[in-house]
């Protein structure tokens, strides 16, 4: 059903506000031949919807056509030029983040920063033909344990069925990414988080730091796991470190008791985590 321009604008605003870009674009196209007086108010909606729907070329074509008209209102011209820059930035960013299979084949020849930038893209490729290069990464002593752990996690998400060897905590570990545990679902992490939730009156910022420290340590030793009896020690170590960072003392009898009973182990954990943080 055709809408008058005023009603069309009302409907567009409502759809756009709830991010229903598909239907917003649909009703513009259905009523395009009726748009006259409100043209410069309605066409921006069309361009915005095309961008949101990732139809960047279509949006670019419209912008180019509109800018080629001899006269357009200054405010509309400003909008068009802003959107033109926005699309150019998006396309440039996409191009920058595009990784080819040839790039993946060189995974063992790049520096650590480049390797980290490649990890998110591994899921898009069949990795069976580069198992040797992947093992070279795990054997490279110049690559940090944390980065190797992130690689293992990515290979696990990829369900790569292959055997690899990595050294963590001076232990040689043989593992297959297709069946390693997911650290996010590990019993150790779940236990520590449950114990942490029992501690009252922790500021939200301190709580966030504690969780990050715990995850950073567990990820660094992955696919190893800490012994069950060491979970409390790791929790206390991270509580102490976070308290020191935030300059606020957390008073908790259980935390204090665990520290008194395991002072040596906890201090070593604190030292390890501090050293790890310096390398990040």
Phi-psi region of 107 (alpha: psi -120 to 50; beta: other; left: phi over 0): alpha
Residue 83, classified by CB atoms within 10 Å of its CB into exposed (0-12), middle (13-18) or buried (19+), is buried
Specify whether the backbone of 168 is left (phi greater than 0), alpha (psi in -120 to 50) or beta: beta
What's the pLDDT score for residue 89?
87
| Residue 151 binned pLDDT confidence (cut-offs 50, 70, 90) | very high
Segment 119-125 mean pLDDT: 87
3-class DSSP state of 18: coil
For residue 159, what pLDDT is reported? 92
Spatial distance between the Cα atoms of 60 and 81, rounded to a whole number of angstroms: 11
The confidence score (pLDDT) of residue 248 equals 83
Cβ atoms of 218 and 224 closer than 8 Å: no
CA proximity to 133, closest of 154, 158, 107: 107
C-alpha distance across the termini of the chain, in Å: 59
Mean pLDDT, residues 163-179 taken together: 95
Strands 164-168 and 171-175, how do they pair?
A: antiparallel
The pLDDT assigned to 94 comes to 67
CB 170 within 8 A of CB 211: no
Q: Using alpha carbons, select from 157, 162, 124 the residue that is nearest to residue 137.
A: 162
pLDDT exceeds cutoff 70 at 95: no
């Amino acid at each position: 059903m055709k809408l008058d321009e005023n009603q069309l604008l009302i409907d567009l605003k409502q759809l756009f506000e709830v991010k229903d870009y598909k239907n917003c674009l649909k009703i513009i196209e259905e009523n395009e031949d009726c748009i006259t007086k409100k043209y410069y108010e309605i066409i921006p909606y069309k361009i915005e919807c095309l961008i949101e729907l990732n139809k960047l070329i279509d949006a670019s074509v419209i912008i180019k056509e509109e800018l080629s008209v001899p006269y357009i209102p200054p405010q509309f011209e400003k909008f068009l030029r802003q959107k033109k820059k926005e699309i150019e930035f998006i396309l440039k960013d996409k191009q920058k983040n595009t990784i080819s299979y040839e790039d993946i084949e060189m995974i063992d020849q790049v520096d650590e920063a480049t390797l980290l930038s490649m990890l998110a893209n591994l899921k898009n490729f069949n990795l069976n033909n580069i198992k040797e290069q992947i093992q070279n990464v795990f054997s490279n002593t110049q690559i940090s344990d944390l980065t190797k752990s992130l690689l293992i996690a990515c290979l696990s998400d990829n369900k790569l069925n292959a055997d690899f060897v990595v050294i963590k905590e001076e232990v040689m570990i043989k593992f297959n990414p297709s069946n390693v545990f997911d650290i996010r679902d590990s019993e150790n992490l779940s236990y520590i988080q449950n114990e942490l939730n029992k501690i009252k009156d922790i500021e939200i910022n301190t709580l966030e730091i504690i969780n990050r420290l715990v995850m950073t340590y567990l990820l660094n030793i992955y696919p190893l796991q800490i012994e069950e009896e060491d979970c409390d020690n790791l929790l206390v170590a991270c509580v102490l470190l976070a308290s020191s960072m935030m300059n606020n003392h957390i008073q908790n009898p259980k935390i204090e008791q665990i520290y008194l009973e395991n002072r040596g182990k906890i201090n070593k954990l604190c030292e390890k985590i501090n050293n790890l943080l310096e390398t990040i």
